A = this chain, B = another copy of it.
């Protein structure tokens, strides 16, 4: 059963959007999360029709955010960019936008966080009007310098609690938070708050050769995937399990064979 399997287009970076839609659908995969990089240059109306025809559920648009910046101009530009992403969500019929919240070298984590809170608050009305939920994705602390100051599930929960906006939730990705000693508690808290809106899977290779582009397929690393799945399932979560892997190694392979491997690996990990 692959109805709970979804794939991020960036996982198959060599494919364009039409290829992703076609090949995922033919395999019986249930959903797709669309990267804006993959979407660039596509006709949105045609893309939406293709998704409908293929009966492939568009799960999330990836990604907005990057709210931090040294100047007001930079931060205003980020708002414009997020509003554009929300319009793309509307055009495609997607009701979730994943946020990589941002971090700027030269600013403290606290300053970054304040700018993130302000940015989300500024785009929240437009998200509500578009019927799109904004998903804060806590990122691994290795990216805390220049990608996201929100770098633990605890931080993401704290921010959701502080913002208290009905259209703001969390994208949970095992890669970023697997190591946290209080993970079970924070997952429970995330679900109880109504924020557990996405579940991304992959693996973390301790010997990775690149900070961004050497993620592992499930089983290639050290994440206790089964334990985390048990915790997620215990909350009652029944949404898609989204495979999101950036890997130069896998991108260099034949993408059809790679997709077969993703599917079989998924099946061996999740029943």
Contacts and interface: CB of A to CB of B under 8 A. Distances in A.
A108 B221 contact: no
A103 B163 CA distance: 36
Interface in A75-109: 103, 105-106, 108-109
A149 interface: yes
Count of identical protomers in the assembly: 2
A145 B207 CA distance: 9
Given A152-B181, A155-B181, A181-B152, A206 B145 contact: yes
A151 interface: yes
The contact size tier of chain A is 35 or more
A109 B179 contact: yes
A143 B110 CA distance: 24
A106 to B, nearest CB: 7
Interface string A145-159: 111010110010010
Given A113-B181, A181-B155, A145 B105 contact: no
B140 A108 contact: no
A220 to B, nearest CB: 11
Contact of A142 (B106, B141, B183): B141
A143 to B, nearest CB: 8
A106 B221 CA distance: 9
Given A155-B181, A181-B113, A181-B152, A227 B108 contact: yes
A146 B222 contact: yes
Interface string A12-51: 0000000000000000000000000000000000000000
A109 B224 contact: yes
A265 interface: no
Nearest to A204: B145
A151 B183 CA distance: 13
Given A109-B179, A109-B181, A145-B179, 17 more contacts: A105-B206, A105-B222, A109-B183, A109-B224, A140-B141, A140-B142, A141-B179, A144-B178, A144-B222, A146-B207, A147-B206, A149-B179, A149-B181, A151-B181, A152-B180, A155-B181, A211-B211
